[in-house]
């Protein structure tokens, strides 16, 4: 009403000044304070907006009459939120406050260096002036705390991918996400129980290690390299890690990233408590400048290897220095440079089928904290699979069967994926499943023996390399654990 009155009575020059004056007078006499919490604060997303939204959507604090309900594709939970331009009342320490969700259309001629959403969203928090000093700070702290708690309790974690390359969406996110629902856990993961326990302890120490990392001046992050033949459970292990720690997963597709700067941007937009994964690291980047360097300086050592990541690429090349392509140095900066610690509590996981193809720079100690060899199925791992798929413990099997399994399992070199296949196929008849498995293992062992005899040592090179590392691996695991034990505060 005042606005239209001013419009008719005053000339345009005076209108703006009068409106401002009127607002000041209104604020002066009003007994309320108003706080605007906008969704986007300058160029960054406003963490307080997200937390307020989460807080207001928790069913405990819901008391409004009009709420919007949503359930995103694949999600198991219904989310409540305040409808646009609607209000709700909240009470904190006996003080009433009012929240309003304000949504306005952005004017199209607003200048911005990046695309902005069509709508401008924000919350307005109204508190009585007399209550302001009493609760404002503690109320905001309470909201942030509650939001963190809701996030932690919420079992819906996310799997992020950078399939859009380096481009960002209207809200400034370069990652696309889907709810993460992989059922793999450490219980279902078939691997050597000692290695498994060591890894779980390592993860637990990491997650509880805030003060340790703070005290020692280290960035709160950890790197794992998983290697081994296809189907031995590398991806399943990443899922198990995420489920164990309750972290989100960022699955980094390196072929979609064209510049080192894009890599940095992606890292900047990952949240803490997350696992950043680069699968098949040996073949996910084609480094043209790398080849050149390898040829020039490292030919004798590593010829015939197109995807080799040469150590000399750590030195800047012309491509590297202007950031026109992804380089090994970019990747290493990404994992352990200054940028790797933006946010905290991050785990980096690289996987590969061919560890021998990786650059020594990537394998050097301190870069990837733990190297984990995922091997062909061993007897203890087989027992886990039999328990998962058929519900059988070792004592449920006949003695002769156990003996046969023990005899052939190592020689058969079957992956957990192959064995799962046999068990799934016959899972309706458990005895038959075990019988078929023994048969399959025997056949595979036999054919392996025949191939070894026929080819001599020719095609065992790769396996020899893997086995050599398999022997080294437990040692590495143990070493890392011992180091950690030494480092750990009492
Ligand atoms: N160690 C394991 N424990 C339980 N299941 C396994 C294990 N390894 C493989 N599997 C089964 O085999 C399937 C394939 O395994 P997974 O994708 O984890 O292998 P991978 O090592 O990542 O293979 P690749 O190198 O081809 O990516 C999984 O769906 C899982 O069911
Ligand atoms: Mg995999």
Residue 14 to residue 17: CA distance in whole angstroms = 5
Q: Rounded to the nearest 5°, which phi and psi values hold at 484? A: -60, -40
Ligand 1 touching residue 234 (CB < 6 A):
yes
Across the chain, which has 490 residues, the per-10-residue mean pLDDT values are 62 73 74 86 76 78 66 63 79 88 71 62 90 87 84 75 72 80 93 94 92 88 94 96 92 86 84 90 58 42 38 37 64 75 83 88 80 94 94 88 93 95 91 93 92 68 50 41 40
- Please give the structure tokens belonging to residue 397: 């099997």
Please check whether residue 17 lies inside any domain of the structure: no
Which residue in 423, 280, 467 sits closest to 357, CA to CA? 280
Please check whether residue 9 lies inside any domain of the structure: no
List alpha helices for 183-336, DSSP H: 193-207, 210-216, 234-245, 260-268, 288-297, 299-302, 318-321, 328-336
Q: Relative to the CA of 237, which ligand 1 atom is closest?
A: 18
Per-chain residues with Cβ under 5 A from ion ligand 2: 234-235
CA 279 to centroid of ligand 2, rounded, Å: 7
Please check whether residue 53 lies inside any domain of the structure: yes
Residues 196, 50: one domain? no
| Per-residue pLDDT at 442 | 95
Residues 183, 141: one domain? no
CB atoms within 10 A of CB 153: 9
Ligand 1 touching residue 193 (CB < 6 A):
no
Residues 232, 182: one domain? yes
Which residue in 381, 375, 386, 403 sits closest to 465, CA to CA? 375
Mutation choice for ligand 1 from 420, 421, 422, CB with most ligand atoms inside 8 A = 420
| Cβ atoms of 340 and 267 closer than 8 Å | yes
Residues 406, 357: one domain? no
Residues 187, 274: one domain? yes
Please check whether residue 25 lies inside any domain of the structure: no
| Cβ atoms of 123 and 46 closer than 8 Å | no
Kindly identify the ligand whose nearest atom is closest to the C-alpha of 234: 1
Q: At what angle do helices 399-412 and 430-455 cross, to 10 degrees?
A: 40
- Atom 25 (ligand 1) nearest CA: 230
| Cβ atoms of 147 and 51 closer than 8 Å | yes
The total number of structural domains that make up the chain: 3
| Per-residue pLDDT at 313 | 38
Residue 437 to residue 445: CA distance in whole angstroms = 12
CATH at 261: 3.40.50.300
Which among 95, 122, 154 is the end of a domain?
Answer: 154
Rounded to two decimals, the ipTM of the complex is 0.98
| Per-residue pLDDT at 291 | 43
Residues 312, 183: one domain? yes
Which among 115, 132, 154 is the end of a domain?
Answer: 154
Residues 220, 369: one domain? yes
Kindly identify the ligand whose nearest atom is closest to the C-alpha of 240: 1
Residue 198 to residue 169: CA distance in whole angstroms = 41
| Cβ atoms of 258 and 266 closer than 8 Å | no
Pairing of the two strands 157-161 and 176-180: antiparallel
Please check whether residue 392 lies inside any domain of the structure: yes
CA 235 to centroid of ligand 1, rounded, Å: 6
Which residue in 59, 54, 43 sits closest to 143, CA to CA? 54
> Which residue range is the domain that position 307 belongs to?
159-373
Residues 281, 206: one domain? yes
Which among 154, 172, 196 is the end of a domain?
Answer: 154
CA dihedral sign of residues 382, 388, 391, 393 = positive
Give CA separation, 358 vs 47, 463, 474, in Å.
39, 16, 20
Place of tokens 């390196």: 254
Q: 462 CB contacts (<8 Å, ≥6 apart)?
A: 354, 356
| Per-residue pLDDT at 195 | 94
Ligand 1 touching residue 377 (CB < 6 A):
no
């Amino acid at each position: 009403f005042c606005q239209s009155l001013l419009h008719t009575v005053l000339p345009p020059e005076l209108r703006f000044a009068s409106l401002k004056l009127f607002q000041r007078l209104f604020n002066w006499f009003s007994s309320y304070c108003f706080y605007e919490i906008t969704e986007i604060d300058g160029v960054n997303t406003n963490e307080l907006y997200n937390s307020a939204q989460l807080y207001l959507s928790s069913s405990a604090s819901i008391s409004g009459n009009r709420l919007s309900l949503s359930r995103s594709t694949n999600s198991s939970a219904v989310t409540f939120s305040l409808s646009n331009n609607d209000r709700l009342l909240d009470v904190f320490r006996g003080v009433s406050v009012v929240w309003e969700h304000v949504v306005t259309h952005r004017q199209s001629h607003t200048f911005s260096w990046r695309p902005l959403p069509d709508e401008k969203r924000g919350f307005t928090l109204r508190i009585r002036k007399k209550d302001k000093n009493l609760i404002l700070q503690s109320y905001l702290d309470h909201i942030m705390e509650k939001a963190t708690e809701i996030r932690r309790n919420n079992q819906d974690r996310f799997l992020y991918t950078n399939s859009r390359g380096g481009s960002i969406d209207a809200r400034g996110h370069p990652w696309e996400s889907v709810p993460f629902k992989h059922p793999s856990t450490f219980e279902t993961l078939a691997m050597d129980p000692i290695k498994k326990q060591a890894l779980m302890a390592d993860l637990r120490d990491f997650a509880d290690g805030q003060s340790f990392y703070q005290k020692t001046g280290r960035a709160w992050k950890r790197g794992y390299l998983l290697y081994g033949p296809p189907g031995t459970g590398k991806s399943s292990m990443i899922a198990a890690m995420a489920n164990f720690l309750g972290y989100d997963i960022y699955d980094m597709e390196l072929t979609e990233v064209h510049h080192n700067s894009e890599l940095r941007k992606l890292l900047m937009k990952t949240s803490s408590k997350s696992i950043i994964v680069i699968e098949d690291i040996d073949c996910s980047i084609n480094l043209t400048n790398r080849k050149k360097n390898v040829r020039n300086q490292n030919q004798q050592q590593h010829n015939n290897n197109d995807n080799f990541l040469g150590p000399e690429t750590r030195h800047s090349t012309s491509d590297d220095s202007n950031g026109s392509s992804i380089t090994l140095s970019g990747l290493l900066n990404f994992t352990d440079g200054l940028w790797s610690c933006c946010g905290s509590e991050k785990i980096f996981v690289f996987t590969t089928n061919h560890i021998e193809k990786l650059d020594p720079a990537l394998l050097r100690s301190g870069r990837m904290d733990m190297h984990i060899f995922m091997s062909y199925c061993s007897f203890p791992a087989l027992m886990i699979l039999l328990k998962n798929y058929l519900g059988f413990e070792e004592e449920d099997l006949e003695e002769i069967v156990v003996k046969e399994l023990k005899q052939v399992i190592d020689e058969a070199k079957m992956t957990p994926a192959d064995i799962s296949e046999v068990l799934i196929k016959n899972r309706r008849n458990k005895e038959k499943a075990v019988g078929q498995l023994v048969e399959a293992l025997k056949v595979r062992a036999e054919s392996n023996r025949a191939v070894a005899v026929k080819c001599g040592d020719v095609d065992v090179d790769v396996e020899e390399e893997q086995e050599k590392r398999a022997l080294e691996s437990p040692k590495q695991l143990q070493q890392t654990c011992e180091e950690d034990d030494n480092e750990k505060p009492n």
